[in-house]
Amino acid sequence: MACVQFRGRALLSTAVLAFMGVGAGAGPESAAVGNHAIVTAAYTAGCAPMQPAQESRVETVRLPIPHARGLAPLPGGRWLVVASARNGVFIARRLEPGVPISAVTALGPQLEGKVELEGLEDVAADGQGNVYLLAAHGRTPRGDAPESRLRLARLRFDPQGELLEARQTRALADAIVNQIPFLADALRRPPARAGLKLEGLAWSAGGELLVGLRSPTVTESRPRPDGSHEDAVFLRIRNPAGPFSAVPEELVLGEVTTQNLGGQGVRGLAWDAARRRHWIVTGLSAEPNHPVASPWGLFAGAEGSAPARMRLPAGVAVSDPTGVALSNGGTHLLLLEGSAADSRVSRIPLQFIEEEPASTPKVKAREEAGA
């Protein structure tokens, strides 16, 4: 017979307790979860000694990179971080729970003469040493559309994390203009008028790249229980390496898809290989020309299924995240928030992130305006 424990108001099997990082016990024990102490008692004889519960503390660390937008892991515990400034690419030495950031190195000088990128929004790693960088593919707030904002780039690193190659292409912009009329039309508008803005990039099952749009969104005519009527737009790049080969191939786009993200657009994407799903940070679709206090949300969804809204534990300090990633062997979620002075990252144990009930449609509200 399996050991069964009563924790608060929940009766949990050993399998569930193991998932939570809590062992079985023969007598009353207490474990800290969030800001609460949960008393645990075992009622079945023969249970193994109780193991300490995994700490639920949310950590927030300063990242000395202004206007950071996205991040992805590199070999050796390094992280590649992109920022909106020209060739804003950086290497952070550590971003693990309990470990301070030891150093940040700017790759800009190494990229000179190889790529010219502005308005970088997100980054995705394929796990084989290739890292893809996504520019906004849209106009500046003033309405300009320089070539440097219409590019996808690929960096190649060796197993020690040293840069081997940097290439860029505007193949994605050309594919959008030539194949997707409503997005080509959006490219003519600035962000404040729901102009084209790509902000999410993630690796995907089958070796493809998933691209998430902040704007425009697509209006859904059918009424919904949560009151939203705008769907976020996603693109899929079938051959990410093709445009970067010695003889460049034409970029191949998959079918344009939409998802209900509570009426919001995509601000950041991350692929969770262990759970075969994507994490999605969402926010206001149109980008105002002035600071606006607006809600944001976190969703997760498996390939081919509707994303579910997720509930975060107390202590998450970021108020306007634009980047998301998995850290520490896939046990922690990282949320990145950039600002003019520097940026910050909240690290959250995944076991304390829960799916919200369908009856609670609201997203997490920002705690401060203009952060």
* Structural tokens at position 168: 């860029």
Tokens 């590019």, located at residue = 151
Q: pLDDT value at position 101?
A: 66
Element (H, E) at 132: strand 130-135
Q: Give all domains of the chain, ordered by start, each with its CATH number.
A: 4-42 (no CATH), 59-355 (2.115.10)
The DSSP code for 138 is S
Rounded-to-integer distance, Cα 154 and Cα 165, Å:
8
pLDDT given for residue 99 in this prediction? 60
Residue closest to 287 by CA, chosen among 211, 371, 367, 197:
197
pLDDT in tens, 310-321: 999 998 989 999
Give the tokens for residue 116: 């010219």
pLDDT tens digits for 328-361? 688 999 999 998 888 999 999 999 999 998 754 4
* Cβ-contact 138, 146 below 8 angstroms: no
Question: How far, CA to CA in Å, does 271 sit from each of 8, 186, 324, 337?
Answer: 34, 27, 9, 19
**Alpha carbon distance 331, 333 (integer Å):** 7
pLDDT above 50 (res 84)? yes
